[in-house]
Structure 1
Amino acid sequence: MNNRHLTTEQRARLLKLATYASVSVALLLILLKTSVWLMSGSVSLLASLIDSLMDAGASLINLFAVRYALKPADHDHRFGHGKAEALAALAQAAFITGSAVLVMLQGIDRLLNPRGLEAAWLGVAVMLFSIAATMGLLLIQRHVIRRTGSTAIKADALHYRSDLLLNASIIVALLLAHYGIARADALFGLVIALYIGYGALRIGWDAIQILMDHELPDSVRNEALALARAIPGVVDVHDLRTRQSGQQWFMQMHVELPSNLSLAQAHELGEQVRLTITKRFPQAEVLVHKDPV
């Protein structure tokens, strides 16, 4: 089942599941990394702890933004609150960029001032646990993204995908440093920083497109047009306009109908068009304008 067949309640449950899981994992990793860093004094673990703190902040923003985006339309927000998701994605892109800069600065400092790492094996154990917890969270997020297509959850998942690389590099760096190759930590960190920065640009760009009312994918538009044109009595369809706001889609179209129809008949055909499209795309709100030909 894909995002086109979910009810509003199912979509809300999935989004809440992903956000609560993200915050829980972030807080657990912060507690664990803080404890081990205090015991070992490892600079690499400190960098990982700071990254987790930034992830937790982004996840909390995501949690409140998704909850707000799921609020139904009201008198002051007649099109709903869905764009809060895109705003959250922009905020997370900023957090991700901050993480990339932090890792780059850490890597440059390690290249210029190489030093040994303490408690390497304890750090490896912490990173292995972090990888396992992060992979479990990513499985949940992947399921939710596949079902809902949420921009905010995509942005959050990027945090934790980058964390997998970061944690794996720290494991390698800890082992190499343990055997006397101190600069390996810096080189791994710089590569990861570039990857994180690239991902932040992609997430930010997608969020901007939603905020700028970018059209839905051509495949969706073409299918909506085909469904409308297949209704018996519809002559043609033109001027289709679409946009997305969070989990809600909006479609407007002009439907050409025979001019000899009564007002009631024209209205009935317009309703058939609307209901046919919303049956295929339950998250779509369809506005049909009837043109006589």
Structure 2
Amino acid sequence: MKLSYAQLVRFSSLFTMLMVGLMIVTKCWAWLSSGSAAMLGSLTDSLLDISASLMSFLVLSYALRPADDDHRFGHGKAEALAGLGQAAFIAGSACLLAFHGIERLINPVVLKHSLLGVWVSLFAIVCTLLVVMVQFQVVKRTQSIAVKADSLHYKGDILLNIAVLLAILLSYYGVIYADPIFAIGVAGYLLYNCWDIAKESAAHLMDKELPDDEKADIIMLASSHDDVYGVHDLRTRQSGKVKFIQLHLELDDDMPLMRAHTVSDDVVAMIQQAFEGELDILIHQDPVSLAVNPKLSQN
């Protein structure tokens, strides 16, 4: 059974929150037992993960609503707003973690119950791998920016948990500064991640064009029709699950209106067949003489 866009992104969000909830419980236990700054950083990151994932789930429920009288282009841009919210959460947590790591550099603390931290970190790595695998499949089928932002963060979490594991092991062997140094390193990585998420979210809000290869495919498909002389003024953007495509077709000057309409429908069908997901395509028909000599259109 083929799941819809809405079913896939909702399943991804619910599965992610379940896995992160399990990690929060175990990391809280390990931090209280060991006092590790790196473990606190990992716990803080997981708390923000579940907050961001919950926010994404709520925003996705809104973004998946169909177009209405007040939002004729749909609600898809709400996904990009969720991405910006995640970036803000991550940036705040990274700054707090950096301050905590610097304080531990000045006043180092010997970690306790290191073995517990090792097992918890291994458990977190397994849970995060499961989350990333599910999200990879969902992003592959939906290209959801909210799920993609989540996935980018959780890929970083795998490295984060490995860093925590190394910090605990090094501290166990007497390298007391390993824990705060790794905590500061994790803070830097979180800031790097939040910049990527914010940049991609802003690109969607600012109606950034689709990738060049996709635009080239659109022009190639439209130009391949026997009755199309050329294509110009291609404009594209993406809002949530919907890709918006606008273009002008250059057609014979004497082509009847009904035939021009049929040609446009043929081009729309070819583009929809070539691209996965939901498309909103608007085509304007231009007489080829005006397209080649645009000054004539001003007369």
Does the residue aligned with 1:77 lie in a helix, a strand or coil?
coil
Match of 1:33 in 2: 27
Residue 204 of structure 1 is matched in structure 2 by 198
1:95 aligns with 2:89: yes
- Structure 2 residue 235 is the aligned partner of structure 1 residue 241: yes
1:42 to partner: Cα distance: 4.5
Distance 1:201 1:46 in 2: 22
Structure 1 runs not aligned, ≥5 long: 1-6
1:1-293 equivalent positions in 2, closer than 5 A: 10-281=4-275, 282-293=277-288
Identity %: 45
SS of the residue aligned with 1:53?
Answer: helix
User: Structure 2 vs 1, CA of residues 199 and 46 (structure 1 numbering), >3 Å: closer, same or farther?
Assistant: closer
Judge conservation of contact 2:41–2:183 (CA < 8 Å) in 1. no
Deviation at 1:154, TM superposition (A): 2.0
TM-score (norm 2): 0.90
Code of the residue aligned with 2:204 in structure 1: it is: I
Q: Deviations over 1:233-260 (max 9, x none)?
A: 1121111111110111001111111121
Q: Could you tell me which amino acid in structure 2 is paired with residue 286 of structure 1?
A: I
So what's the TM-score if we normalise by structure 1?
0.91
Contact 1:169 1:185 in 2 (8 A): no
CA distance in 2 between counterparts of 1:103 and 1:87 reads: 25
Opposite residue 95 of structure 1, the aligned amino acid is F
For residues 268 and 162 of structure 1, what CA distance do their matches in structure 2 show? 49
The equivalent of 2:291 in structure 1 is none
Aligned amino acid, residue 230 of structure 1: S
Does the aligned pair in 1 maintain the 2:37–2:180 contact within 8 Å?
no
Q: Distance in 1 between matches of 2:80 and 2:241?
A: 10
Does the aligned pair in 2 maintain the 1:166–1:189 contact within 8 Å? no
CA-atom RMSD in angstroms: 1.8
- Greater shift, 190-199 or 233-242, is seen at 190-199
Contact 1:33–1:126, Cα closer than 8 Å, also in 2: yes
Question: CA distance change for structure 1 residues 99 and 164 in 2, over 3 Å: closer, same or farther?
Answer: farther
Query: Which whole-Å CA distance do the structure 2 matches of 1:34 and 1:93 have between them?
Result: 23
Give the Cα–Cα distance (whole angstroms) in 2 for the partners of residues 108 and 37 of structure 1.
Answer: 18
Contact 1:278 1:285 survives alignment (8 Å): no
SS state of the match for residue 4, structure 2? helix
TM superposition shift of 1:38: 4.1
1:40-63 Cα offsets, whole Å, 9 max, x none, are 555543333222111110110111
CA contact 2:41–2:186 (8 Å) conserved in 1:
no
* Displacement after TM superposition at 1:198 (Å): 1.4
The one-letter code of the counterpart of 2:19 is V
Residue 32 of structure 1: how far off its partner (Å): 2.1
Deviation at 1:271, TM superposition (A): 1.1
Deviates more, 1:127-136 or 1:164-173: 164-173
Residue 79 (structure 1) shift: 0.6
AA matched with 1:284: L
Q: Which moved more, 1:41-50 or 1:275-284?
A: 41-50
In 1: Cα distance, 2:152 partner to 2:217 partner: 31
Deviation of 1:200 after TM superposition, in Å, equals: 1.2
Tell me how far apart the structure 2 counterparts of residues 215 and 138 of structure 1 sit (CA, whole Å): 27
Distance 2:34 2:103 in 1: 20
Structure 2 unpaired stretches of 5+: 289-299
Confirm or deny: 8 A CA contact 1:58 1:95 kept in the other structure: yes
On the 8 A contact 2:80/2:201 being kept in 1, the answer is yes
